[in-house]
Amino acid sequence: MLGKLGWNAIPFDQPIPLVSGAVVILIVLGILIWVIAKGWGPYLWKEWITSVDHKHIGIMYVLLGLIMLLRGFIDALMMRSQQTLAYHAPGYLPPEHYNQVFSTHGTIMVLFAAMPLVIGLMNFIVPLQLGSRDVAFPTLNSVSFWLTATGALLVNLSLIVGEFARTGWLPYPPLSELRYSPGVGVDYYLWAVQISGVGTLLTGINFVTTILKIRAPGMTYLRMPMFCWTALASCLLILAAFPVLTATLAMLTLDRYLGFHFFTNEAGGNAMMFMNLIWAWGHPEVYILVLPAFGIYSEVISTFSGKPLFGYRSMVAATLFICIVSFCTWLHHFFTMGAGGNVNAVFGITTSIIAVGTGVKMYNWLFTMYGGRIRFTTPMLWSLGFMTTFITGGLTGVLLAVPPVDFMVHNSMFLVAHFHHVIVGGVVFAILAALAYWWPKAFGFRLHEGWGKAAFWFSFVGFYVTFVPLYVVGILGMTRRLQHYDVADWRPWILMSALGTVILVVAVICQVVQLAVSFMRRNELRDVTGDPWDGRTLEWATPSPPPVFNFAVLPQVQDAEAYWDVKRRAREAATFGKEPEYQPVEMPRNSPTGFICAFFATIVGFALIWHIWWLMVLGLIGAYVTFVVFAWRDVPEYVIPADEVARIDRANREIRQEALAGASAT
Amino acid sequence: MKSYGLRNRRAAPALLLWVSSIAFAPDIARADSILSPVGPVGAGNKIILLDALTIMLAIVIPTMLATIAFAWWFRASNTRAVYRPDFTYSGKLELIVWSIPTLVIFFLGGVIWIGSHKLDPFQPLPSSAKPLEIEAVSFDWKWLFIYPDQRIASVNRLVIPVGRPLHFRITSASVFNTFFVPRLGSMIYAMNGMVSQLNLQADKPGTYLGISAMFSGDGFSDMNFDTVAVPAGQFASWSGGVKGAALDRAAVGQLLKQSRAVAPYTYRGVDTSLFNAIASQKLPPGEGPTTGRGGPAGRHVMPHGGR
């Protein structure tokens, strides 16, 4: 009846996951009770859960990403503390558990923290920057989000029901095959990643369509803000790479569920093929994350330098260059498989060629600052922290791309240090910059600068104290994923790294306090004008937070920096011009389709993991019925009357007119 | 413990030293560092590492300094800095901006091309001496080293002669592992059904750390082995005097069972066809664990029930 599910699935013998799982359940229950007691249920259902507004979906993505970032960070603390204690000692995490912790850490950080954060920011920003009212397929967008949430839920469920993969964040066969991983851990991984992968692929389709087809009049390709270009490149990579992931994991699933032999040791299976395929997705995945991050830095550096982005066309070219070349480098993840001099050399060279693209970007940011008037706000600090950090992270990356060097540091702590160097220094710094930069747009008040700067400095210092020692132990021959070790020379460096994580904990606390303090003092931090940073792109033309339709009248774009251009002309004419003619606006109706689909997807995933076949069939039928009901809907849109549009927009125009008058008066 | 305490107090200054001179701090040049190689392969890799590092630092350091300098000089409060909001494009600068990384990568590409060919692990080492043949097999979770010419074998301890090339043939009897002795040089994967090759040489006697550098399951952290490099004469007397049971199919059957932290021991009288039997899968790979959380083994879904 319940397949493989039984009481033995609950880790009663392991207090750590049991207690932490219980705490999480209590917190979730507490929040639920609070929401019900306060009567917020209908509001959440109408405004958030069933919302197809790209801004709300974006915020939910970011929230999911931040929660998962914390979860992954706790995993990281467990790993660092285990290695701190496990010198000539077993530590407190047995291998069965420690191996799950590092596998969960990687999976969550890449797929359920970084991806939702990046996609959430794209959701919120791209339509606003393009001057459009929503994405191309709003309901599909909601489906994407909820499927991602399903994946995150399944991963977290494995904490207390069964186990998670013990194979590392990429389940290399033959270790991940049934013979060597008979538990449900790898199955949790497979279905969680597959289901959220569908969501990510749909996001890719949605945003490529949006960027190519739904731009404001006059917003030609070469007038698109840099963030939109990088989002486009990232989504093109999603379209090309995620099907590879889906197919690869499907093959492993067939091996595990139906006795196929794609990657098994026996019967002609070839595990080396898995490594090729998974990295054919895995390497572009890095750029799916980091290209939008580059877009964020471009926006932030340009805004706070008070200058347009230097060499805009060059930046576009470099973005697309990276986008394409990222598909030609995957083999550098396994030079040590022994492919031979020619193959290794070619992939080593293609890998280092990517550094040309990033190098060009680095110099263009540098010259964006040259001749600028730089304001050292929190987002700008994160960007400068990135510029100084990423360049050495890139250096160690190119070192790893040199096969003879890789032969000595492959899979080592040097590698661990390198990819944290570029992902923390590149992606995480960007997300935190973006959070501070676009927060006022999303919520109508700025974040507290003091706490934000404290968070930056602790993160910056903590990052170096944590990861520089890992480079050193890598050079001292320490490999990754060790549950315990006996080598005395590694010990001081591991301790120093632990000290670094303590500094990072302080940084995380500062970041959380910043959010709390900003919320409590939101009235004094209020962003009245909708343009708190003297921005250059169209999102700053809207009130903060923007109305559901974003733009009362679609903007007529005449310049690469659409809103800067509007402000410049307004300054010259001392007016924003006469009031436009308001029309009624049609907006897509809310839909519970995404939520219900994800509900059934969760059931299907759980049933497949535990081999509860009847439940799987039930879930599939439910999901299909949901789709049919949605397809048969009669009224997909509702109309906001012209009066209402005019009322909202007049207030926005008035404030901007006042700001303009104030600026010219001083 | 005393020596560890000393090292611990040195840790902070050592970090500073490391940051300032990146790879050249004395602390890293000691012990099992890849920067203190004891053979030609490690030495070759190290030179490539330092070459590549130097080439890149030549542009990375100026760029970092420029970032800090530009950001500081053009701060909004600096009235002496000229505000040039129209400086948004310069063809000459773009040319330079694309050329610098491109030229560096051209240069580095040459290093990569030559390095990958000269230091290809399959490449025999230039030497007048005949290489010593060693067959390495990774099991769950220990290493077996077979010396086919001496008809002996050793578990979790690799004894090698100094100054003579070593030719390794490497496979796995279960999941992937990586054979790696940091101070000797390159590592390479051990894969079931495949034979990797690795050519190494130790030029200095000593005991060096050997590890598996590819996560392979619960007992992975104990897949370490001492690599003992001894003078040729001593090697001969060691290999002649090795004691132990015969290594036959039954003994391999025992090794195929999962075990952790296996203390080193030896075999005398080795069936030299065993390595090829494992590599060609005539001997089936290890069975893996018998249980996993979430049902009994879960094997019931496999129609033919494994092997």
* Pair A101, A68: CB distance under 8 Å: no
For B211, nearest residue in chain A (alpha carbons): A479
Contacts of B14 in chain A (CB under 8 A): 492
> Is there a contact between B303 and A8 if contact means CB atoms under 8 Å apart?
no
State the pLDDT at residue B307: 30
Q: Pick the closest to residue A148 from A99, A74, A186, A204 (CA basis).
A: A204
- B212 contacts on A by Cβ (under 8 Å): 479
The mean pLDDT of B221-231, rounded to a whole number, is 93
CB contact under 8 A, B191 and A337: yes
Three-state secondary structure along B127-170?
Answer: CCCCCEEEEEEEECCEEEEEECCCCEEEECEEEEECCCCEEEEE
Q: Where residue B292 falls among pLDDT bands split at 50, 70, 90?
A: low
How far is B244 from chain A, CA to nearest CA, in Å? 28
B192 touches chain A (CB under 8 A): yes
Residues in B closer than 8 angstroms to A184, CB to CB, are 292-295, 298
pLDDT at B15: 52
Q: Which of B35, B79, B293 to mutate to test the interface with A (most CBs of A within 10 A)?
A: B293
User: What phi and psi values does residue B138 have, to the nearest 5 degrees?
Assistant: -95, 130
Q: Which residues pair with B161 in a beta bridge?
A: B230
**Concatenated DSSP letters of B35-85:** TS-SSHHHHHHHHHHHHHHHHHHHHHHHHHHHHHHHHHHTBTT-TTSPP-T
Query: What are the pLDDT digits (tens) for B162-194?
Result: 999 999 999 999 999 999 999 999 999 999 999
Put simply, whether B117 touches A (Cβ < 8 Å) is: yes
Alpha-carbon distance values, A569 to A308, A559, A562, A565, A576 (Å): 16, 11, 11, 6, 8
Q: Long-range contacts of range A284-287, CB-CB < 8 Å, 24 or more positions apart?
A: A284/A237, A284/A240, A284/A241, A284/A326, A284/A327, A285/A110, A285/A237, A285/A241, A285/A245, A286/A326, A286/A422, A286/A423, A287/A233, A287/A234, A287/A237, A287/A322, A287/A323, A287/A326
Q: Which residues of A touch B219 (CB under 8 A)?
A: 95
List of chain A residues with pLDDT < 70: 664-666
Of B101, B109, B288, the CB nearest to A349: B109
Q: Taking a contact as any Cβ pair under 8 Å apart, which residues of chain B between 149 and 178 contact chain A?
A: 174-176, 178
What is the rounded distance in angstroms from the CA atom of residue B181 to the CA atom of residue B213?
A: 9
Return the CATH architecture of domain A1-269. Up-down Bundle (1.20)
Is A178 close to B302, i.e. CB distance below 8 A? yes
Q: What single string gives the DSSP state of each residue in A306-331?
A: TSPPTTHHHHHHHHHHHHHHGGG-GG
Beta-bridge mates of residue B132: B166
Q: Nearest residue on chain B to A309, judged by CA atoms?
A: B88
3-state secondary structure A56-88: HHHHHHHHHHHHHHHHHHHHHHHHHHHHHHCEC
Give me the pLDDT at residue B291, please.
60
Both tokens of B293, joined, read 């959380």
Nearest CB among B11, B109, B140 relative to A492 is that of B11
Distance from CA of B115 to the nearest CA of A (A): 6
Cβ separation A352–B178 shorter than 8 A: no
Q: How many residues does chain A have?
A: 666
The angle, 0 to 180 degrees and rounded to 10, between the axes of the packed helices A115-130 and A429-443 is 50
Q: Do B186 and A11 touch (CB under 8 A)?
A: no
Residue A495, both tokens: 């301790």
Tell me whether B204 touches chain A (CB under 8 Å). Answer: no
CB < 8 Å from A in window 231-270 of B: none
- Distance from the Cα of B240 to chain A's closest Cα (Å) equals 31
Report how far residue B287's alpha carbon sits from residue B8's, in angstroms, rounded to the nearest whole number. 43
> Across the strands, what pairs with B229?
B160, B206
Nearest to A169 by CA among A185, A150, A153, A154: A185
Q: Where are the domains positioned within chain A?
A: 1-269
Query: What's the token pair of residue A599?
Result: 């509900």
- What is the model's pLDDT at position A183? 85
What CATH number matches the domain at B132-285, 2.60.40.420, 1.10.760.10, 3.20.20.70, 3.50.30.30? 2.60.40.420
CA dist., res. B215 & res. A150, Å (int): 29
The string of pLDDT tens digits covering residues B106-125 is: 999 999 999 999 999 998 99
User: Which residues touch A200 (CB under 8 Å, ≥6 apart)?
Assistant: A115, A119, A144, A148, A238, A242
By C-alpha distance, the chain B residue nearest A370 is B70
A375 contacts on B by Cβ (under 8 Å): 76
**Alpha-carbon distance A649 to nearest alpha carbon in chain B (angstroms):** 31
B306: left (phi over 0), alpha (psi -120 to 50) or beta: left
Domain boundaries, chain B: 15-78+90-118, 132-285
Q: Could you read off the pLDDT of A215-245 as tens digits, one per residue?
A: 999 999 999 999 999 999 999 999 999 999 9
Q: Identify the three-state secondary structure at position A187.
A: helix
- Domain B15-78+90-118: top CATH class: mainly alpha
The distance from CA B270 to its chain's CA centroid, rounded to whole angstroms, is 27
CB contact under 8 A, A485 and B221: yes
CA torsion B71-B77-B82-B85 (nearest 10°) is: 70
How many beta-carbon pairs under 8 angstroms link A with B?
A: 378
DSSP H helical segments within A444-583, as ranges? 449-475, 491-520, 562-573
Residue of B nearest to A363 (CA): B97
C-alpha distances in Å from residue A1, one per residue of A8, A154, A612, B291, B294: 16, 21, 7, 21, 15
- pLDDT averaged over chain B? 85
